[in-house]
Amino acid sequence: MTGESDLASLGALVGDRVRAALLLRLLDGGATTASELAAAAGASASLTSSHLRRLLEGGLVSVTTSGRHRLYRLAGVEVAEMLEAMQLVAPETPVTSLRGERSRRRLRRARLCYDHLAGVLGTAVTDGLVTRGAVVLADGAALGERAEEVLGEVGLDLAPLRARERRLLRECTDWTERRPHLAGAVGAAVATRMIDSAWVVRRPGSRGLDVTADGAAGLEEWLGLRLRDLDGWRETAPGLAG
Partner DNA sequence: ACGACGCTTCAACGGCGGTTGAAGCGTCGC
Partner DNA sequence: GCGACGCTTCAACCGCCGTTGAAGCGTCGT
Q: What is the CA radius of gyration of the chain?
A: 19
Q: Would you count residue 46 as binding DNA (CB under 7 A)? A: yes
With CB under 7 A as the contact rule, the residue among 25, 70, 203, 207 that binds DNA is 70
- Per-residue contact string for residues 3-32; x = within reach of DNA by CB under 7 A: ---------x---xxx--------------
Question: What is the distance between the alpha carbons of residues 219 and 227, in angstroms, rounded to a whole number?
Answer: 8
Partner in contact with 69, chosen from DNA, its own copies, none, beta carbon below 5 to 8 Å by kind: DNA
- Please give the distance of CA 24 from its chain centroid, rounded to a whole number: 10
Interface positions with its own copies (CB under 8 A) = 1-17, 19-21, 23-24, 42, 59-60, 78-79, 81-97, 100-101, 103-104, 107, 136, 138-143, 167-171, 175, 180, 184
Q: Does 212 bind DNA (CB under 7 A)?
A: no
**CA distance linking residue 89 with residue 83, whole number of Å:** 10
How many other C-beta atoms lie within 10 A of the C-beta of residue 203? 18
- Rank residues 48 and 123 by Cβ distance to DNA and give the closer one: 48
Among its own copies, DNA, none, what binds residue 52 when CB lies within 5 to 8 Å by partner kind? DNA
Inter-residue contact 35 to 46 (CB < 8 Å): no
DSSP state of 231: T
Q: Give the CA diameter of the chain.
A: 56
Examine residue 88 and tell whether it contacts DNA (CB under 7 A). Answer: no
The SS3 call for residue 166 is: coil
Instruction: Please count the CA atoms within 13 angstroms of the CA of 94 that sit on its side-chain side.
Output: 1
Q: Which of 35, 64, 93, 192 binds DNA (CB under 7 A)?
A: 35
Closest contact distance (angstroms) between CB of 63 and DNA is 7
**Which residues make up the interface to DNA (CB under 7 A)?**
12, 16-18, 33-36, 38, 43-54, 63, 66-70
